[in-house]
């Protein structure tokens, strides 16, 4: 089951690379990322994260344009929900978690694909030490 955490100044989405079709597709997005500062960035022309924080509930949607998915060999038609921002993009994943109302969230969303049951503190330690190179998703272009 995917998770979202607000920790260490990050919005962190954790997916299982062998999980649901959406989780597997999100994990594969790293193949489209470009390297920079110990992370992989996904171009906003390929995909992004849409987020909402209301009443202490943080909702993160991971979206990607169909063409980017197809370049990975993933059937975009398997994902039927569309972006509110760009109808050419499909929603791969929606994750809900808790965050303090009014909490200042960074612009970017960090995504890691790890085996289920991996403790979040271990994921954060691996990110901080550079062992894990996460995928970073920007907000959508406006």
Tell me what percent of the residues of the chain surpass a pLDDT of 70: 100
Taking the CA atoms of 61, 17, 117 and 12 in sequence, report the sign of the dihedral they define.
Answer: negative
* Residue (of 141, 75, 139, 72) closest to 107 by Cα position: 139
Q: Binning pLDDT at 50, 70 and 90, where does residue 60 land?
A: very high
Q: Residues 92-119: what's their mean pLDDT?
A: 91
Query: Whole-angstrom Cα distance, residue 4 to residue 10?
Result: 10
Q: Residues 19-33: what's their mean pLDDT?
A: 96
pLDDT digits (tens, 9 = 90+) for 35-49: 988 999 999 999 999
Q: Can you name the residues that pair with 64 across neighbouring β-strands?
A: 47, 90
Q: Are the C-beta atoms of 75 and 64 separated by less than 8 Å? A: no
Query: Whole-angstrom Cα distance, residue 100 to residue 124?
Result: 19
Its pTM stands at: 0.93
Q: Binning pLDDT at 50, 70 and 90, where does residue 19 land?
A: very high
Q: Residues 2-12: what's their mean pLDDT?
A: 89
pLDDT digits (tens, 9 = 90+) for 71-98: 999 999 999 999 888 888 999 999 999 9
């Amino acid at each position: 089951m995917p998770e979202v955490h607000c920790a260490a100044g990050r919005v962190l989405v954790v997916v299982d690379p062998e999980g649901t079709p959406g989780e597997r597709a999100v994990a594969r997005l790293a193949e489209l990322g470009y390297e920079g500062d110990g992370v992989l960035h996904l171009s906003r022309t390929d995909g992004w994260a849409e987020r909402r924080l209301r009443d202490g509930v943080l909702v993160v949607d991971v979206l990607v344009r169909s063409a980017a998915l197809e370049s990975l060999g993933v059937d975009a038609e398997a994902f039927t929900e569309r972006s509110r921002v760009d109808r050419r993009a499909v929603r791969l994943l929606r994750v809900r978690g808790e965050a303090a109302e009014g909490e200042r969230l960074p612009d970017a969303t960090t995504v890691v694909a790890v085996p289920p049951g991996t403790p979040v503190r271990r994921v954060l330690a691996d990110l901080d030490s550079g062992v894990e190179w996460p995928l970073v998703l920007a907000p959508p272009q406006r």
